[in-house]
Amino acid sequence: MSAVESISFDHAELLRFITAGSVDDGKSTLIGRLLHDSKSIFEDQLSAITHTTRRRGMEGVDLSLLTDGLQAEREQGITIDVAYRYFATPKRKFIIADTPGHEQYTRNMVTGASTANLAIILIDARKGMLTQSRRHAYLASLVGIPHLVVAVNKMDLVGYSREVFEQICKDFAAFAEGLKLSNIVYIPMSALNGDMVVERGTKLGWYEGTTLMDFLESVPIDHDINLEDFRFPVQLVCRPQIEELHDFRGYMGRIESGFISVGDPVKILPSGLTSRIKEIVTYDGSVERAVAPQSVTLTIEDHLDISRGDMLVKTDGEAPRVTKEFEAMLCWLSEQSLDPRRKYLVKHTTRVVKALVSRIDCRVDINTLNHEAADTLKMNDIGLVALKMQQPLVCDQYQHNHATGSFIVIDEVNNNTIAAGMICPALG
């Protein structure tokens, strides 16, 4: 197996990132550049886009064509949805959630951002901070993306001016302060010419920071996951009807956050009953400890009534809330507006309950960040609402724990996913 080990990427970390910006900011060109310069574009892809570039009467290779997808998009020259792209360097594996900048930007960006470790916000150096840059920064802060790169692109069109770059950094930083965004890195670049994307180029000698690729390869992401609070939503109860295992009762699920060891005292919520971990079972044998985000099967010392939707937590440490109501930021995703008279379904961890929006506190104008009174939420609106549930949910505030602080809203009539929610801190 030495051949395998010598070239295996097996212990590479996985970094998921999103790119925010419109076609005009050079977003597709930047992604094309990242893939091209990291040698992640295959020859048949390259020859296909070279062919298409020529057919459209242009010369060279239009790297932005790489991110074109569906026939419908090619016909209309638009991007209609989130596309996922994959590339790897010897240091890391990358997943890009590529979301279009124009249409349905809120819906698409929130969707792409929900699983991202990092966001790249593109700013056209000629135009500086625009309304949409503020919008992107706000959405990144709303969804709680841990790392932010502000890519000041098209530096070639402003003579690679240090002053222009520094002014944009200052403007962005001032705005970001109000959003409590931290971990921001600013990189000047020309995606078109390749400066500071993968290669440093020769034109930005005054810039001493890293290239975009260096940063993507090295930004520490192991702090992104909550390792403090053990949360284990039960997905399935395993009771194999086999002679030698007739007593076996395992709780299958994924550790959403934190850590668990054999012998640890645990509480089952919402019932509040307690027990101890007897065994941590995996297909590869039992283990002593397990950590987020591993999927495992747990057995406990006592015979308790536990089913899907229950959550195991540690008895020590921060306890989650068990509640039938909370406030949340809702991002509305559907063409059918929020109707406060209707009951919806809320899916939170592994639990699905009926719910009612009991109050709409305000809608956030994502261009000005002003809070406005509202009696509904429309597609792409973001608002602060109060929800009442028919059964209790076991939850944390989103800021502390994305997995137990997030939920989706489903329309029971047509089964569509109509909103995404992030739970706010408890009042009082």
Residue of 117, 124, 173 whose CA lies nearest to 140: 117
Contacts of 64-67 with C-beta under 8 Å, sequence gap 24+, read 64/23, 64/26, 64/28, 64/29, 64/32, 65/28, 65/32, 66/28, 66/31, 66/32, 66/35, 66/36, 66/41, 67/28, 67/31, 67/32, 67/98
Task: CB nearer to another protein: give 114 or 275.
Answer: 114
By CB under 8 A, the residues from 156 to 195 that bind another protein are none
223 touches another protein (CB under 8 A) = yes
Q: Kindly tell me which of 100 and 188 has the beta carbon lying closer to another protein.
A: 100
Q: How far is the CB of 58 from another protein (least distance, A)?
A: 17
CA–CA dist 109, 97 (Å, integer):
9
For residue 174, the minimal CB distance to another protein (Å) is 30
**String marking each residue 35-74 x if it binds another protein according to CB under 8 A:** -------xxxx--x-------------------xxxxx-x
User: Which lies closer to another protein via its Cβ, residue 282 or residue 390?
Assistant: 282
77: how many CB neighbours lie within 10 A of its CB? 8
Stretch that binds another protein, among 1-9, 126-134, 161-169, 207-215 (CB under 8 A): 1-9
Alpha helix stretches (DSSP H) within 251-341: none
Cα angle, residue 262 at apex, residues 230 and 270 outer, rounded to 5°: 40
Decide whether 68 or 301 has the Cβ nearer to another protein.
68
Residue span binding another protein (CB under 8 A) among the ranges 179-187, 199-207, 265-273, 408-416: 408-416
Least distance to another protein from the beta carbon of 205, Å? 33
Q: Which CB sits closer to another protein, 133 or 334?
A: 334
Q: Which is nearer to another protein, 5 or 163 (CB)?
A: 5
Considering only 38, 50, 210, 235, the residue that binds another protein (CB under 8 A) is: 235
- Identity (one letter) of the amino acid at 197? V
* Minimum distance from residue 44 beta carbon to another protein (Å): 3
- Chain Cα centroid distance, residue 410: 20
Among 126, 289, 343, 371, binds another protein (CB under 8 A): 289
CA distances to 69, 214, 231, 331, 402 from 116, rounded to whole Å, are: 21, 18, 20, 17, 11
